[in-house]
Amino acid sequence: MALINDPRKLFAYKLGTVLSGEKKILTMLKKLEKRAQREELKQQFRHHREETEGQIENIEQAFKALGEKATGRTNPVIMGLSEQADVLYDKTDDEILDTVLLGGAAETEHVEIALYEDLITQARGMGEQQVVSLLQQNLEQEQHTLEEVKRASEQLAQRSGRQPSAVGSAPDAAGFSDTGRE
Single out the residue of 112, 117, 121 nearest to residue 56, CA to CA: 112
Contacts of 104 (CB under 8 A, 6+ apart): 28, 32, 81, 84, 85, 88
Question: Do 28 and 83 form a contact (C-beta atoms < 8 A)?
Answer: no
Shortest spacing between CB 40 and Fe ion, in angstroms: 18
User: Which residue ranges make up the site for Fe ion (CB under 5 A)?
Assistant: 22, 52, 55, 112, 142
CB closer to Fe ion, 113 vs 167: 113
Shortest spacing between CB 42 and Fe ion, in angstroms: 16
CB closer to Fe ion, 99 vs 143: 143
Q: What totals of helices (H) and strands (E) does the chain contain, helices first?
A: 5, 0
Shortest spacing between CB 111 and Fe ion, in angstroms: 9
CB closer to Fe ion, 55 vs 82: 55
